[in-house]
Structure 1
Amino acid sequence: MIKLSRLKSNGTEIILNAELIETIEQTPDTVITLTNGKKILVEESMDEVVRKAMDYRRAIFRNLR
Protein backbone atom coordinates (compact mmCIF):
# COMPACT_ATOMS: atom_id res chain seq x y z
CA MET A 1 0.00 0.00 0.00
CA ILE A 2 1.25 3.49 -0.84
CA LYS A 3 0.11 6.88 0.46
CA LEU A 4 -0.77 9.49 -2.20
CA SER A 5 -2.57 12.84 -2.32
CA ARG A 6 -5.62 13.22 -4.53
CA LEU A 7 -5.52 16.10 -6.98
CA LYS A 8 -8.36 18.64 -6.85
CA SER A 9 -9.61 17.56 -3.44
CA ASN A 10 -7.44 19.77 -1.26
CA GLY A 11 -4.71 17.14 -1.05
CA THR A 12 -6.84 14.50 0.62
CA GLU A 13 -4.58 11.55 1.35
CA ILE A 14 -5.47 8.12 0.04
CA ILE A 15 -3.90 4.71 0.49
CA LEU A 16 -3.61 2.79 -2.78
CA ASN A 17 -2.86 -0.89 -3.26
CA ALA A 18 0.23 -0.64 -5.48
CA GLU A 19 -0.50 -4.10 -6.88
CA LEU A 20 -3.53 -2.65 -8.70
CA ILE A 21 -1.55 -0.08 -10.73
CA GLU A 22 -1.66 -0.83 -14.44
CA THR A 23 -0.27 2.42 -15.89
CA ILE A 24 0.95 5.82 -14.74
CA GLU A 25 0.83 8.85 -17.06
CA GLN A 26 1.96 12.46 -16.70
CA THR A 27 -0.44 14.56 -18.81
CA PRO A 28 0.73 17.05 -17.13
CA ASP A 29 -1.23 15.81 -14.09
CA THR A 30 -0.33 12.35 -12.86
CA VAL A 31 -3.02 9.86 -13.83
CA ILE A 32 -2.93 6.35 -12.37
CA THR A 33 -4.99 3.72 -14.17
CA LEU A 34 -5.87 0.67 -12.10
CA THR A 35 -6.37 -2.88 -13.34
CA ASN A 36 -10.15 -2.42 -13.02
CA GLY A 37 -10.05 0.62 -15.37
CA LYS A 38 -10.59 3.23 -12.64
CA LYS A 39 -8.44 6.37 -12.99
CA ILE A 40 -7.04 8.41 -10.10
CA LEU A 41 -5.49 11.88 -10.36
CA VAL A 42 -2.76 12.51 -7.79
CA GLU A 43 -0.49 15.41 -6.83
CA GLU A 44 2.70 13.32 -6.82
CA SER A 45 4.83 13.14 -9.96
CA MET A 46 4.98 9.98 -12.02
CA ASP A 47 8.52 9.34 -10.73
CA GLU A 48 7.37 9.69 -7.11
CA VAL A 49 4.55 7.17 -7.62
CA VAL A 50 6.95 4.71 -9.27
CA ARG A 51 9.46 5.15 -6.42
CA LYS A 52 6.77 4.56 -3.79
CA ALA A 53 5.48 1.46 -5.60
CA MET A 54 9.02 0.08 -5.90
CA ASP A 55 9.75 0.77 -2.22
CA TYR A 56 6.52 -1.02 -1.30
CA ARG A 57 7.44 -4.09 -3.34
CA ARG A 58 10.99 -4.15 -1.95
CA ALA A 59 9.57 -4.10 1.58
CA ILE A 60 7.30 -7.05 0.81
CA PHE A 61 10.09 -9.15 -0.68
CA ARG A 62 12.42 -8.23 2.20
CA ASN A 63 9.84 -9.65 4.63
CA LEU A 64 9.55 -12.91 2.68
CA ARG A 65 13.15 -13.87 3.37
Structure 2
Amino acid sequence: MIRLHRIGHDHAELYLNCQLVQQVEACPDTTITLVTGSKVVVSETCEQVIERIRAWHASVAAAALAGDVDPAAVARR
Protein backbone atom coordinates (compact mmCIF):
# COMPACT_ATOMS: atom_id res chain seq x y z
CA MET A 1 0.00 0.00 0.00
CA ILE A 2 1.11 3.53 -0.65
CA ARG A 3 0.54 6.58 1.56
CA LEU A 4 -1.32 9.51 0.00
CA HIS A 5 -3.49 12.43 1.14
CA ARG A 6 -7.01 13.25 0.01
CA ILE A 7 -7.24 16.70 -1.48
CA GLY A 8 -8.17 19.20 1.21
CA HIS A 9 -7.14 16.80 3.99
CA ASP A 10 -3.37 17.16 3.90
CA HIS A 11 -2.92 15.98 7.48
CA ALA A 12 -5.03 12.83 7.15
CA GLU A 13 -3.20 9.93 5.55
CA LEU A 14 -4.87 7.62 3.07
CA TYR A 15 -3.36 4.20 2.32
CA LEU A 16 -4.16 2.94 -1.15
CA ASN A 17 -3.72 -0.59 -2.48
CA CYS A 18 -1.73 0.28 -5.57
CA GLN A 19 -2.53 -3.07 -7.17
CA LEU A 20 -6.07 -1.76 -7.71
CA VAL A 21 -4.98 1.37 -9.63
CA GLN A 22 -6.29 1.44 -13.19
CA GLN A 23 -5.21 4.96 -14.12
CA VAL A 24 -3.83 8.20 -12.69
CA GLU A 25 -4.71 11.49 -14.35
CA ALA A 26 -4.50 15.21 -13.70
CA CYS A 27 -7.82 16.89 -14.43
CA PRO A 28 -6.60 19.36 -12.95
CA ASP A 29 -6.41 17.62 -9.57
CA THR A 30 -4.77 14.20 -9.44
CA THR A 31 -7.54 11.63 -9.78
CA ILE A 32 -6.86 7.93 -9.29
CA THR A 33 -9.33 5.51 -10.84
CA LEU A 34 -9.42 2.02 -9.35
CA VAL A 35 -10.34 -1.19 -11.15
CA THR A 36 -13.51 -1.19 -9.03
CA GLY A 37 -14.61 2.08 -10.67
CA SER A 38 -14.02 4.11 -7.50
CA LYS A 39 -12.15 7.38 -7.82
CA VAL A 40 -9.88 9.06 -5.30
CA VAL A 41 -8.71 12.67 -5.62
CA VAL A 42 -5.37 13.27 -3.91
CA SER A 43 -3.09 16.24 -3.26
CA GLU A 44 0.02 14.49 -4.65
CA THR A 45 0.96 15.01 -8.29
CA CYS A 46 0.60 12.24 -10.89
CA GLU A 47 4.38 11.91 -10.91
CA GLN A 48 4.51 11.45 -7.13
CA VAL A 49 1.77 8.80 -7.22
CA ILE A 50 3.51 6.90 -10.02
CA GLU A 51 6.87 7.06 -8.21
CA ARG A 52 5.30 5.66 -5.02
CA ILE A 53 3.70 2.84 -7.00
CA ARG A 54 7.05 2.05 -8.65
CA ALA A 55 8.85 2.14 -5.30
CA TRP A 56 6.28 -0.22 -3.78
CA HIS A 57 6.65 -2.71 -6.65
CA ALA A 58 10.44 -2.46 -6.42
CA SER A 59 10.34 -3.16 -2.67
CA VAL A 60 8.19 -6.26 -3.23
CA ALA A 61 10.54 -7.53 -5.94
CA ALA A 62 13.60 -6.85 -3.78
CA ALA A 63 12.09 -8.71 -0.83
CA ALA A 64 11.23 -11.67 -3.05
CA LEU A 65 14.75 -11.80 -4.51
CA ALA A 66 16.25 -11.59 -1.03
CA GLY A 67 14.04 -14.44 0.14
CA ASP A 68 12.30 -12.22 2.72
CA VAL A 69 8.82 -13.19 1.56
CA ASP A 70 6.91 -15.83 3.48
CA PRO A 71 4.32 -17.21 1.01
CA ALA A 72 2.02 -18.23 3.87
CA ALA A 73 2.08 -14.68 5.30
CA VAL A 74 1.33 -13.19 1.89
CA ALA A 75 -1.61 -15.55 1.44
CA ARG A 76 -3.10 -14.37 4.77
CA ARG A 77 -3.07 -10.67 3.75
Specify the TM-score bucket, using the shorter chain as the normaliser.
Answer: over 0.9
Q: Structure 1 or 2: larger helix share? A: 2
1-side partners of 2:44 and 2:21: how far apart? 15
TM-score, with structure 2 as normaliser: 0.80
The equivalent residue for 1:28 is: 28
Shift of 1:23: 0.3
TM-score (norm 1): 0.94
* TM-fit CA distance, 1:36: 0.2
**Structure 1 vs Structure 2 CA RMSD:** 0.7
Based on CA coordinates, which of the two structures has the bigger radius of gyration? 2
Report the residue type matching 1:5 in the other structure: H
Q: Which of the pair has the greater relative contact order for Cα pairs under 8 Å at 6+ separation?
A: 1
User: Please, which runs of 5 or more residues in structure 1 have no aligned partner?
Assistant: none
For residue 53 of structure 2, give the secondary structure of its aligned residue in structure 1: helix
Q: Which amino acid aligns with 1:55?
A: A
SS of 2:28's partner is: coil
- 4+ aligned runs moved over 6 Å, structure 1: none
Gaps of 5+ in 2: 66-77
Say which structure is richer in strand: 1
Aligned residues: 64
